[in-house]
Structure 1
Amino acid sequence: MDLSLKDPYAPESPVGDSFPDLECAVCFSQFNNVFNTPKMLECKHTFCLECLARMNVKSQQPDSLQCPLCRAFTPLPSLGLPKLATDPKVISYLPEAMQRVYSIRFSRERGKLQVKRVPSTVPTLSSDSRQSLDLGVPADTEDTTQRSSRGSICSRLLRMPLCRAFFMAFGVLIMVSLTIGIVIILSQKKS
Structure 2
Amino acid sequence: MESDPNHLRDPYKPDADDGGEPPDLECAICFCQFNNVFNTPKVLECKHTFCLECLARMNVKSTHPNTIQCPLCRAYTPLPDLGLPKLANDSTVLSYLPAAMQHVYSIRFNRNKGKLQVKRVPSSAPAQNVSQSLDVGNPAGEEGESGSARERSVLITILRTPLCKAFIMSSVAIMTVILVITIILILRSAG
TM-score, normalization by structure 2: 0.68
Checking the alignment, whether the CA contact within 8 Å between 2:66 and 2:79 is kept in structure 1 is yes
2:149 is matched with which residue? 158
Q: How does 1:71-150 map to 2 (within 5 A)?
A: 71-118=74-121, 122-125=125-128, 129-140=130-141
**Compared CA separation, residues 129 and 66, structure 1 to 2 (3 A):** same
Could you tell me how far apart the structure 2 residues matched to 1:7 and 1:45 are?
24
2:109/2:116 contact within 8 Å kept: yes
What is the identity percentage for the equivalent residue pairs of Structure 1 and Structure 2?
65
2-side partners of 1:93 and 1:37: how far apart?
A: 13
Aligned-partner Cα distance in 2 for 1:101–1:119? 8
Q: 2:55 aligns with which of 48, 52, 56?
A: 52
Residue 6 (1) aligns with residue 3 (2): yes
Report the Cα distance in structure 2 between the residues aligned to 1:119 and 1:45, rounded to whole angstroms: 26
Letter in 2 for 1:32: N
Task: Give 2:71's aligned residue.
Answer: 68
Q: Deviations over 1:80-105 (max 9, x none)?
A: 00000000100000000100001000
Q: Partners of 1:88 and 1:7 in 2: how far apart?
A: 28
RMSD: 3.1
Give deviations 1:44-75, integer Å, cap 9, x for gaps.
Answer: 00000000000000111101011011010000
Determine if the alignment matches structure 1 residue 33 to structure 2 residue 36.
yes
Partner SS state of residue 19, structure 2: coil
Rounded Cα–Cα distance in structure 2 between residues aligned with 1:119 and 1:33: 10
Unaligned runs of 5+ in 2: 8-16, 160-191
Matched, 1:43 2:46: yes
The CA deviation at 1:6 is: 1.3
Query: Structure 1: which 4+ aligned runs deviate by more than 2 Å?
Result: 14-18, 117-125, 155-159, 162-166
State the 1:162 CA deviation: 5.0
Counterpart amino acid of 1:65? I
Counterparts of 2:18 and 2:141, CA distance in 1: 48
1:6/1:157 CA distance change after superposition, 3 Å: closer
